[in-house]
Every structure is written in C-alpha cells, then in structure tokens.
Amino acid sequence: MTPPLVSIRGLCVTLGGNAVLKDVHADIVRGQITSLIGLNGSGKTTLLRAVLKEVPYTGQISFHCGHDHTHQNPNHVGYVPQKLRLEGNVPITVRDLLALALQKRPLFFGIKAAVRAQMVTMLARVGASPALLDRPADRISGGELQRVLLALALEPNPELLLLDEPAAGVDFQDQESFYELIARLNRERGVSILLVSHDLSVVSRHAHHVLCLKDGLIQCQGTPREMLNDAMLRQTFGADRAVFAHGHHH
C-alpha cells in the first residue's frame, strides 16, 4: 500500500468550549481522492482547518511529503473554502482579486506583465475563459467563482487540495463539469485531494476512499462501494439518511 501523504492520529479540537473533534484517526492517501462525509455540524470543516493549522489542536497531523510543516498554513496545501459569499461585497474585477492574492503589493502599483500572463495560465488550467478577468468578481456565476478559487488554490502546484463542499450553490450542469475537472487534476497532476461533499453520487463516482465523520469521530471508512450502502449510511447519517438517498448509486 502507498504510504499516506497525511496521517492524522488522536486529533482533538475544542472550539468555544465544544469538543468538536474527539480522537480522529485517518489517513489521506497520496495521489487519491479521499472524501469526507457526515451530517452538518459533525466537524468536517474543522478537520480541514486543523490540517491547515488554522485551529488549535492536540494529537498529530503528520505530513510525509518532504516539506517543512512546522509553520502556519503550509503553502503547498491548496484550499477552497465552503461558501465564500462575494455577492455585492467585492466591487473589483477578477483580475484585481487575483492580483491581490498573487502580488504582495498594493494594486495602485499596477500588475506586473508576468503576473498578467500567469493569470491567463491559471484560468486555462481550470477551464475558465480569460474574459472572466474583466468581470466584477461579485457578478460572476457560482460555478465561475469556484473555478477562480480553485485556480488560486492550485497556485503554486500544491501536493494536497482541501475542498470544502466546493460545488455547493453551483448549477447542476456546472457541478458535473467542476467534479470532472477535479478528477482530471487528480489523474493528470497526481494532486491528492480531501473532498467534503454532500453529494453521494459524486462521492461514489470520484472518491477512492471515504471517511465518515460522526460526532467528532471517524465512524467508519472504506471504499465508496463499502461505505455507500444503507447500513453504513444509517450509521453516519442516522434517520436523516433518507435526505441523501437520491445520491445513492450502486
């Protein structure tokens, strides 16, 4: 078996007095898509934020990738957060949004030619048109915004991508092509992915391994075939399982 890219052992996170993660043991396997499923409030986002070192934790999160992980926010880990709402709040173009992230200097100094070229390459990588650069960032569609955020997360060439319900709020057609893109990035670039998704048909089609989180613990884990059946889903989702039944494919 390939060694894990990240091994998580005895991970505990307490936030505002709540024990959110209570002794999580899990591996993120190199080169694979690992899917994290569980009810709302089960701690999925918190687990991603612990891997990013954005929340205090006890236990071990060990990276086996040859990079130094003693510092905050390992920069070869890309992250697409859950529900970034820009509507009406960011009156700047996609070009300026990307420039703010890519250049460590104020926009009024202008955007370097090399950075302008880099933006076109970044958008091409995620199948987005360079015409997006001129559009206001708060007026593009949910699917377009997710591609822009994914393009940023892929810079510069992370070994691990953390995707937190990346297609929530995206049209169905756009969701399909977004997940195809994720699967292609995994196949062609070998980037390892930890994907939080509520869509069990997406999980069954694209994940290699499934982690089921319940009440801050990994309740069960295995291949999609092993996990996406009535008995396992009832363990993870309880009575709410029916909500997810539409995505249950054999």
Ligand X SMILES: Nc1ncnc2c1ncn2[C@@H]1O[C@H](COP(=O)(O)OP(=O)(O)O)[C@@H](O)[C@H]1O
Degrees, nearest 5: CA angle 238-244-250: 110
The correct pick among 32, 35, 42, 45 for binding Mg ion (CB under 5 A) is: 45
Nearer of residues 43 and 99 to ligand X, judged by Cβ = 43
- Least distance to ligand X from the beta carbon of 51, Å? 12
| Residue number with the smallest Cβ distance to ligand X | 16
Indicate the residue type of 2.
Answer: T
| Residue number with the smallest Cβ distance to Mg ion | 45
Nearer of residues 16 and 106 to ligand X, judged by Cβ = 16
Q: How far is CA 186 from CA 87, 169, 194, 195, in A?
A: 30, 23, 11, 12
Degrees, nearest 5: CA angle 144-50-180: 30
Closest CA to 229 of 247, 216, 208, 207: 247
- Least distance to Mg ion from the beta carbon of 196, Å? 6
Residue 19's binding partner among Mg ion, ligand X, none (Cβ under 5 to 8 angstroms by kind) is none
Nearer of residues 82 and 93 to Mg ion, judged by Cβ = 82
**Backbone phi and psi for residue 98, each to the nearest 5 degrees, phi listed first:** -65, -40
Q: How far is CA 120 from CA 106, 127, 182, 183, in A?
A: 20, 10, 19, 22
Nearer of residues 35 and 45 to Mg ion, judged by Cβ = 45
Per the CB < 8 A criterion, the answer to whether 158 and 122 are in contact is no
Nearer of residues 40 and 70 to ligand X, judged by Cβ = 40
- Least distance to ligand X from the beta carbon of 218, Å? 13
What is the binding site for ligand X (CB under 6 A)?
15-16, 18, 20, 38, 40-46
| Binding letters toward Mg ion, positions 71-110, x by CB under 5 A | -----------x----------------------------
Q: How far apart are alpha carbons 103 and 94 in whole angstroms?
A: 14
- Which residues contact Mg ion (rule: CB under 5 A)? 44-45, 82
